[in-house]
Amino acid sequence: MAASFAGRGPAPVVLVERTADGGRKILISGGGRCNILPSTLAPERFVTDSPAHLMRAMLRAWPLAAQRAFFEGEIGLPLTIETDTGKLFPASNRARDVRDGLLALARRHGVTVQFGTVVTGLAPNGDGWRLETSAGPLRAGRVVMATGGLSVPATGSDGTGLALTAALGHRVHQTYPGLTPLTTAALRTPHPTPHSASGSRQPSLLAGLSLPVRLRVRWAGRTTEAHGGFLFTHRGYSGPAVLDVSHVCVRSLMTGADEAADAAAADGPDTRARLLVSWSDRTAQQWERDLLSGDLGVATVLGRVLPERLALALMHAASIPRDRRTSALRRVERTALVARLTSDELPWSGHEGYKKAEVTGGGVALDEVDPRTLESRHHRGLFLCGEMLDAFGPIGGHNFAWAWSTGRAAGLGAARRD
């Protein structure tokens, strides 16, 4: 995107790409379909340690309607809305069409693409820049860094760009995996029992189950919520709702000593974030009503809403026999079961890290660049964009919207006439 818009200026543009074909994160996104944009932008759900107004300005610099018009008009890629999620995909359902379309557009604007080339050094050189690469040195009047973060390193993002910009004097906020699955050493039941909390490693009986849930993560006196799909995996939990709150869990493990003391004061002796789940959109009152009416099997009542394996696991965690009927359900059993149905605490021990993280949290502080052109405030002629900047959004195309908007801004900034 940056190269395409830079190519509209008077100077020749070379796109240096370390992989053999480029755009590999596009190719793996959306299960190979590429959720290219959200239908509605949600700046309030973006995460940054930089001034939020800078993030909002950069994100909104290219409105969603204009982005859609660009893809459908300039690239010739019709988009379609997935009605149940509100996500925009290429009508072809082929992520490769997105990558190939962007590459073709860049070439139409005269961009020379140099694949299989790694940048190993970057330094000011007179009025321009000198780049050391695996294919030999390059000289440029201006440089756009669009090197990504650390997530999914197999696609080519290994943090090189962050290291180069830090060496040039830019302030880089601590990076961490974002939108990553969580792991647990105890998945025998969805609620920590005295045995499972002690570190049981019995294999999960719930792996493969998925359902919509409401998640709350409590840490350092704050609560973060997410709604959406939840998936039990063999190693822990995934799905949109889990990914959208995972950064809180990740950061709770990274907390320094002083912050840990504050977190402990707010949440108790364990500074790790607490992960609470409501297994449906039903309230405690609604579950109480259902469990107080008639003479039905408790498992039958729960099975109307939840997968059978989960229903039985919740009953087991509440010490309720699987053949218990509602008419025989004691008050203490009903109270324990409703608590697990609406506010169950999930055991978790870690996360899948950058290997499976969809984005990188942290990065170059947003006040280190001009919010309109994304030119470095430290070095004239250097522009920074995309995932290497300190901001990321929820799943559902928001991070592509950030990439497209900041890539365009950086490309236009680099191409402008002084």
Tell me the CATH number at 51: 3.50.50.60
**What pLDDT, on the 0 to 100 scale, is given for residue 204?**
66
Residues 173 and 259 in one domain: no
Question: Which of helix, strand or coil describes residue 148?
Answer: coil
Specify the number of domains making up the chain: 2
- Name the region of 156 (left: φ>0; alpha: ψ -120 to 50; beta: rest): left
How many CB atoms are located within 10 Å of the residue 330 CB? 10
Q: How far apart are CA 281 and CA 95, in angstroms?
A: 33
Residues 402 and 337 in one domain: no
**What pLDDT, on the 0 to 100 scale, is given for residue 194?**
32
Residues 344 and 360 in one domain: no
Q: Please provide the DSSP assignment of 78-117 as one string.
A: -EEEETTTTEEEETT--HHHHHHHHHHHHHHTTPEEE-S-
Q: How far apart are CA 340 and CA 334, in angstroms?
A: 10
User: Of 301, 323, 351, which residue constitutes the final position of a domain?
Assistant: 351
**What pLDDT, on the 0 to 100 scale, is given for residue 329?**
96
**What pLDDT, on the 0 to 100 scale, is given for residue 205?**
81
The side-by-side arrangement of strands in the sheet containing 119-125 is: 119-125, 128-133, 138-140
Q: Tens-digit pLDDT profile for the chain (418 aa)?
A: 999 999 999 999 999 999 999 999 999 999 999 999 999 999 999 999 999 999 999 999 999 999 999 999 999 999 999 988 899 999 999 999 999 999 999 999 999 999 999 999 999 999 999 999 999 999 999 999 999 999 999 898 999 999 999 999 999 999 999 999 999 975 444 443 333 332 223 336 899 999 999 999 999 999 999 999 999 999 999 999 999 999 999 999 998 534 444 544 454 445 899 999 999 999 999 999 999 988 999 999 999 999 999 999 999 999 999 999 999 999 999 999 999 999 999 999 999 999 999 999 999 999 999 999 999 999 999 999 999 999 999 999 999 999 999 999 999 999 997 6
Helices 331-343 and 308-317 sit at what angle, rounded to 10 degrees?
130
Q: What are phi and psi of 162, to 5 degrees?
A: -65, -40
Q: Which residues constitute the domain of residue 259?
A: 182-351
**What pLDDT, on the 0 to 100 scale, is given for residue 386?**
97
Amino acid symbol at 144: V
Residues 174 and 188 in one domain: no
Q: How far apart are CA 117 and CA 233, in angstroms?
A: 37
**What pLDDT, on the 0 to 100 scale, is given for residue 191?**
44
Contacts of 332 (CB under 8 A, 6+ apart): none
**What pLDDT, on the 0 to 100 scale, is given for residue 271?**
83
Residues 173 and 266 in one domain: no
**What pLDDT, on the 0 to 100 scale, is given for residue 169?**
97
User: Of 334, 351, 368, which residue constitutes the final position of a domain?
Assistant: 351
Residues 140 and 208 in one domain: no
Judge whether 347 and 197 are in contact, CB under 8 Å. yes
H/E element holding 28?
A: helix 24-28
What is the rounded radius of gyration, in angstroms, for the C-alpha atoms of the chain?
25
Judge whether 198 and 185 are in contact, CB under 8 Å. no
**What pLDDT, on the 0 to 100 scale, is given for residue 131?**
97
User: Of 296, 317, 351, which residue constitutes the final position of a domain?
Assistant: 351
**What pLDDT, on the 0 to 100 scale, is given for residue 209?**
96
Residues 124 and 227 in one domain: no
Residues 402 and 295 in one domain: no
Residues 332 and 404 in one domain: no
**What pLDDT, on the 0 to 100 scale, is given for residue 84?**
87
Residues 215 and 310 in one domain: yes
pTM: 0.91
Residues 123 and 240 in one domain: no
Residues 260 and 299 in one domain: yes
